[in-house]
């Protein structure tokens, strides 16, 4: 399965040639107006990488040609399948379409950056046009360029925040149609270089090794991932799906209760209680002293929801599967298969929540049970000391289980009451808001 969005990035370092041609490269007319949906989608990535590799091979400082590509207007499109009047133009963080004066200003900025030997970053956001259609970002030949531009801004804001470029950095971008699929070119740099300078070995034309210095251009992997994540998150609204998933998960972990009718569950719970740490402060699912019984806790809670809340658990699994398919489409099913981490992490989160729910209720119930036992020992104060109180928790009887079950039910009723109260508050606020509008 191919990804809906792919981000490819490259960089070169200034010093000898102008950056301006890269902006002109991005702004050329034929790059904006050609759509060919019949060719293979993956070619765009190969073409982008081939273009940047050739550019670097020719000269790691050849920014002028790349800027010219952005702004070149002499190669008019002859395609008839899209309105030839469409021209989204260069855009920045503050302008949706640069006029001639603004273009000259951005060229000057890149020239200053080149003179100061700053890094020029070249990013390309590429789309699968079928994915754009599914998200209703492309209807017929009409592209929702406003949302695309907003997504680019989100990504570049994330980049500048993470790479500490907010004070000196700037960028310009353009939407292109000149290859198999719609894509966006972004050029970014700094008026004054703030990147650390690194040394590395190079060879001259005669093969002699010499030491060269230049600013560090490579971004962190986390920056690239966050850029893409911010870009996609803006274009695809997952709010309703995520709200539903949270609701189902919350209901599941609040339904955990004590099963007094199933001997297997009763025995499993006894085994868990017998091996709980002496210190109740350690009764937390992810505490290091709980690792030896986490598997049994998972087994108990999973058995319970599968038996008593089978449909709701299946619904949660289905929602996770849908989200996994979404991430697979967005990021692709490559070798790393990061999309699989989503479902795995969410199931681990559910186990943690259910486990802590069980442990909190056990703790509350045992405090009630043990209070009775402590009262019987009132004649011997030494036995009240925390360090001397019971070396092991008592074996749970069915009567104890009944008490624990009641504690679970009390907790659940309290949660349901809180949810109803919050819903009532929301309805009142919404009605008040509507009344004010009238």
Buried/exposed 283-312: b ≥16 CB within 10 Å, e otherwise: bbbeeeebeebbeebbebbeebbeeebeee
DSSP-assigned beta bridge partners for residue 188: 121, 171
User: For a pLDDT cut of 70, what percent of the chain falls above it?
Assistant: 64
What is the Cα–Cα distance from 148 to 144, expressed in whole angstroms? 7
Residues 9, 39: Cα–Cα separation, whole Å: 23
Q: What is the DSSP letter of 242?
A: H
Provide the pLDDT confidence category of residue 360 given band limits of 50, 70 and 90: confident
Q: How far apart are CA 334 and CA 136, in angstroms?
A: 25
Cβ-Cβ contacts under 8 Å for 5 (sequence gap 6 or more): 125, 126, 127, 128, 131, 228, 231, 232, 235, 330
Predicted local distance difference test score (pLDDT) of residue 372: 63
| Residue 225: Cβ within 10 Å count | 14
Kindly report, residue by residue over 383-412, the tens digit of the pLDDT. Answer: 444 444 344 444 556 566 665 666 555 555
Specify the pLDDT at position 145: 92
Strand, helix or coil for residue 216: coil
Query: Bigger pLDDT: 163 or 52?
Result: 163
Structure tokens at 361: 């209720």
What is the model's pLDDT at position 75? Answer: 32
Confidence band for 66, pLDDT divided at 50, 70 and 90: low
Tell me the pTM.
0.60
Give the list of residues 6+ apart from residue 64 with CB closer than 8 angstroms, or none.
Answer: 17, 18, 19, 20, 21, 22
Based on the number of CB atoms within 10 Å of its own CB, is 219 exposed (0-12), middle (13-18) or buried (19 or more)?
middle
* Helical segments of 170-293, H only: 221-235, 239-254, 263-274
The answer to whether 143 touches 83, Cβ cutoff 8 Å, is no
Any idea what DSSP says for residue 291? G
* Residue 277 scores a pLDDT above 80: yes
Distance CA 122, CA 112 (A): 17
Q: Is 210 helix (H, G, I), strand (E, B) or coil?
A: strand
- Whether residue 125 is predicted with pLDDT greater than 90 in this model: the reply is yes
Instruction: With cut-offs at 50, 70 and 90, classify the pLDDT of residue 196.
Output: very high
* Best-predicted range by mean pLDDT (45-49, 78-82, 238-242): 238-242
* Residue 40's pLDDT band (cuts 50, 70, 90): very low
Question: Which residue bears the tokens 């002293």?
Answer: 289
Q: Decide if pLDDT at 329 tops 50.
A: yes
Q: Per-residue confidence at 85, pLDDT binned at 50, 70, 90?
A: very low
Q: Under DSSP, is residue 170 helix (H, G, I), strand (E, B) or coil?
A: strand
What was the pLDDT predicted at 52? 43
Could you give the percent of the chain with pLDDT greater than 90?
A: 29
The tens digit of pLDDT for each residue in 131-165 reads 888 888 988 888 899 999 999 999 999 999 999 99
Q: How confident is the model at residue 286 (pLDDT cuts 50, 70, 90)?
A: very high
| Minimum mean pLDDT range among 21-25, 66-70, 119-123 | 66-70
Helix (H) or strand (E) holding 115: helix 100-115
Distances (CA, A) of 13 to 25, 169, 193, 197, 434: 17, 15, 10, 11, 56
Instruction: Find tokens 């560090």 and name the residue.
Output: 216
Rounded Cα distance between 58 and 66, Å, is 12
3-state secondary structure of 142: strand
Which of 95-104, 293-302, 410-419 is least confident? Answer: 410-419
Q: Do residues 64 and 111 touch, judged by C-beta distance below 8 A?
A: no
Say what the pLDDT of residue 171 is: 97
**Out of 14-28, 82-96, 225-239, which region has the weakest mean confidence (pLDDT)?**
14-28
In 291-338, which ranges are continuous DSSP H helix? 294-308, 310-331
Say whether pLDDT at 97 is over 80. yes
What per-residue confidence (pLDDT) applies to 227? 94
Query: Average pLDDT of 184-210?
Result: 90
pLDDT for 195 beyond 90: yes
CA distance 410 to 364: 11
Which distant-in-sequence residues (6+ apart) come within 8 Å of 368 by Cβ? 403, 407
Left, alpha or beta for 91 (phi > 0: left; psi -120 to 50: alpha)? beta
Instruction: Considering only residues 400 and 72, tell me which one the structure prediction assigns the higher pLDDT.
Output: 400
Q: What is the rounded average pLDDT for all residues in the chain? A: 76
Higher-scoring residue by pLDDT: 255, 58: 255
């Amino acid at each position: 399965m191919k990804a809906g969005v792919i981000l490819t990035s490259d960089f070169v370092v200034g010093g000898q040639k102008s950056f301006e041609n890269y902006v002109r490269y991005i702004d050329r007319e034929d790059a904006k107006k050609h759509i060919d949906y019949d060719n293979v989608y993956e070619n765009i990535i190969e073409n982008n990488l081939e273009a940047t590799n050739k550019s670097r091979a020719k000269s790691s400082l050849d920014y002028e040609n790349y800027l010219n590509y952005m702004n070149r207007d002499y190669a008019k499109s002859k395609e008839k399948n899209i309105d030839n009047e469409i021209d989204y133009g260069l855009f920045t963080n503050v302008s949706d379409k640069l006029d001639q004066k603004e273009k000259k200003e951005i060229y000057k900025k890149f020239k200053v950056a080149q003179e100061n030997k700053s890094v020029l970053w070249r990013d390309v956001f590429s789309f699968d046009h079928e994915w754009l259609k599914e998200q209703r970002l492309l209807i017929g030949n009409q592209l929702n360029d406003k949302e695309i531009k907003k997504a680019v801004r989100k990504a570049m804001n994330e980049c500048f925040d993470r790479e500490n470029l907010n004070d000196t950095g700037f960028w310009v971008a353009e939407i292109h149609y000149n290859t198999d699929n719609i894509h966006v070119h972004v050029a970014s740099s700094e008026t004054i270089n703030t990147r650390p300078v690194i040394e590395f070995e190079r060879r001259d034309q005669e093969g002699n090794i010499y030491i060269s210095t230049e600013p560090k251009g490579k971004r962190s992997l986390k920056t690239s991932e966050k850029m893409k994540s911010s870009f996609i998150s803006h274009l695809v609204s997952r709010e309703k799906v995520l709200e539903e998933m949270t609701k189902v998960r919350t209901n599941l972990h609040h339904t955990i209760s004590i099963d007094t009718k199933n001997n297997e569950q009763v025995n499993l719970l006894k085994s868990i209680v017998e091996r709980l740490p002496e210190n109740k402060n350690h009764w937390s699912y992810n505490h290091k002293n709980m690792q030896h019984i986490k598997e049994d806790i998972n087994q108990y809670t999973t058995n319970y929801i599968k038996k008593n809340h089978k449909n709701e658990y299946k619904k949660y699994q289905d929602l996770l599967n849908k989200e996994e398919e979404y991430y697979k489409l967005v990021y692709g099913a490559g070798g790393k298969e990061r999309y699989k981490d989503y479902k795995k992490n969410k199931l681990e989160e559910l186990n943690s929540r259910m486990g802590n729910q069980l442990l909190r209720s056990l703790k509350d119930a045992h405090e009630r049970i043990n209070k009775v036992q402590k009262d019987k020992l009132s004649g011997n104060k030494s036995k009240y000391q925390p360090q001397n109180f019971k070396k092991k928790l008592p074996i749970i009887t069915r009567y104890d289980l009944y008490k624990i079950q009641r504690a679970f039910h009390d907790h659940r009723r309290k949660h349901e009451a809180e949810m109803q109260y919050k819903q009532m508050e929301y309805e009142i606020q919404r009605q008040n808001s509507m009344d004010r509008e009238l």
